[in-house]
Chains A and B, each alone.
Chain A
Amino acid sequence: MDAQELTKKVYELVEKNQGKKKMKAGDITKAMEAEGASRDEVKAAIRELVDGGKLVYSYFGGSFIEIPHTEGSANPQS
């Protein structure tokens, strides 16, 4: 799988789970490893998406990766 395709797949995985299951970096890595990507490749893909602002880190008792959305900061965990 080339880098561009992997980046797309990572984004789609987060998108599919948005609002249903909070994804940790480790969950994404395991899912992509199952599709043949290496740990470092997944890391690079996540980094590209986060640096580009397409995905963001959030914190809810642990760190997760999400698509940016305003409810996140306006309606934090109480």
Chain B
Amino acid sequence: MSKDVKTPMLDDLEKGAWPSFVKEIKTAAKKSNTAHDLLGILERSYRDKVTHWKHGGIVGVLGYGGGVIGRYCDLPEEFPGVAHFHTVRINPPSGFYYTSKAMKELCDIWDKYGSGLTNLHGSTGDMVWLGTQTDKLEPIFAEITAKGWDLGGSGSCLRTPSSCVGKSRCEFSNIDTMDICHTLTHKFQDELHRPAFPYKFKIKVSGCANDCTAAVARADMSIIGTWRDNIRIDQAEVKNYASKMNIAEEIVGMCPTKCMSFDGGALKINDKDCNRCMHCINQMPKALRPGKEQGATIMLGGKAPIVTGALMSWVIVPFMKLEAPYDNLEDLIRKLWEWWDEHGKNRERIGELVDRMGMRSMLESTGLPPVPQMVKQPRTNPYVFWAPGEVQ
């Protein structure tokens, strides 16, 4: 390892008050040749104004089609330490709870076989290990599985499902997010490890509309905890808040559906018009709580802009009871996959397929009833098309 790599452009990124990834790579470079050459190739890319990375190919562990993302550099003679720079995805525990012992064991494995650089957690939800070589993959897999861990998803498969901390730490949660995430991960092992879809599919579970996993923007299937009865109100606590805040302005005035009223005495909510946005509950957690009849809104289609533009998930089931073992949810997900497998083009996300073929085809094959909550925007097409079977 040559010690004298000069990185003037990267050094610039260490200035300032914020943490710097350059500083972390430099620390890792003291022990790892891979991290050392990563500094070199990054500086080179900044200078050349082109990326020197290539990706894809056949890399992975025997039997799995996902979990390892193949990456190579196009200057292997100059930067042998990053000739291969594969990423390994480790499926994290639900809610991201680790013991420090488990964390140390994982880091030891990674120091032994890789650059030591990690990303906790990637946008996929996985623990991401950055930079190793093809011949290290089987040994890494053997060691992590011996400790009870598994690889996450990559490629055209179910990606590692993820959830917020849910009921383990958050009183807002309407569903057991961690159990749902854990159960789905186990139900769908085959779909996670053996890519058979047109493209990737992500599931994220948030316990309430605060959506701490950002499921609506990031997941093909967004599962958002909600309730269908009335918000529980403790009027004595409302009185306490009234002495500290302007309820009429900050709560009632900012309710998006204008379904609340406050006359200085009691707070009233017309729950029929409430869209369960969580604003009032967030602001007055001691006075207001979600209702008792809890479940989830199931939404479909969220994705970032790769092939076509970004999509936010939209409602396909306004309210679903979610109790272990969640067979109703599993059944719906499998029907959606079947429809997508049948009609999806290569690299077409399920939301894009709904956009292309329309809701009708999706609803017919899943048996979901069309309901007003599915409406994203008023229709602009004045024509109504009936399927032959619908005409008497």
Q: Which residues of A contact B (CB under 8 A)?
A: 24-26, 29, 43, 46-47, 50-51, 53, 56-63, 65-66, 68-69, 72-73, 75-78
Q: Which of B194, B197, B347 contacts A46 (CB 8 A)?
A: B194
User: How far apart are the CA atoms of A63 and B195 in the complex, in Å?
Assistant: 6
Contact indicator B54/A57 (Cβ below 8 Å): no
Q: List 7 A-B contacts (CB under 8 A).
A: A29-B196, A58-B58, A59-B59, A63-B66, A63-B155, A73-B58, A75-B57
Would A50 and B63 count as touching, CB distance under 8 A? yes
A53 touches B62 (CB 8 A): yes
Bitwise, B54-69 to A at CB < 8 A (1) or not (0) is 1111111011111001
Flag if B63 contacts A24 (CB, 8 Å): no
Residue of B nearest to A72 (CB): B58
The closest CB in chain B to the CB of A50 belongs to: B63
B125 within 8 A of A: no
How large, as a class, is the contact surface on chain B? 20 to 34
Given contacts A59-B69, A63-B65, A73-B59, contact A78 B74 (CB under 8 A): yes
Q: Is the CB of B157 within 8 A of A63?
A: yes
- Name which of B58, B157, B197, B198 has the most chain A CB atoms within 10 A of its CB: B58
Find out whether the CB atom of A62 lies under 8 angstroms from the CB atom of B199: yes
Partner of A72, one of B55, B57, B347: B57
From DSSP, what is the main secondary structure of chain A's interface residues?
A: mixed
Q: Is the CB of B199 within 8 A of A57?
A: no
In angstroms, how far is the closest chain B Cβ from the Cβ of A4?
A: 20
CB-defined contacts of B56 to chain A, threshold 8 Å: 58-61, 76-77
Kindly report which residue of chain A lies nearest to residue B348, judged by CB atoms.
Answer: A62
Q: What residues on A are CB-neighbors of B154 within 8 Å?
A: 59
- B55 lies within 8 A of A57 (CB): no
Q: Which of A26, A53, A73 sits near B197, CB closer than 8 Å?
A: A26
**Besides A25-B196, A73-B70, A76-B72, 11 new A-B residue pairs in contact (Cβ under 8 A), listed by A number:** A24-B346, A26-B344, A43-B196, A47-B63, A50-B63, A51-B62, A51-B63, A57-B65, A65-B65, A72-B58, A76-B55
Q: Mark B308-348, 1 if CB is under 8 A from A, else 0.
A: 00000000000000000000000000000000010010110
Min Cβ gap B133→A in Å is 11
Nearest Cβ distance between residue A39 and chain B, in whole angstroms?
9
- Cα(A69)–Cα(B198), bound, Å: 24
Question: Given A50-B63, A59-B69: A26 and B196 within 8 A (CB)?
Answer: yes
Partner of A62, one of B62, B341, B347: B347
Q: Is the CB of A57 within 8 A of B196?
A: no
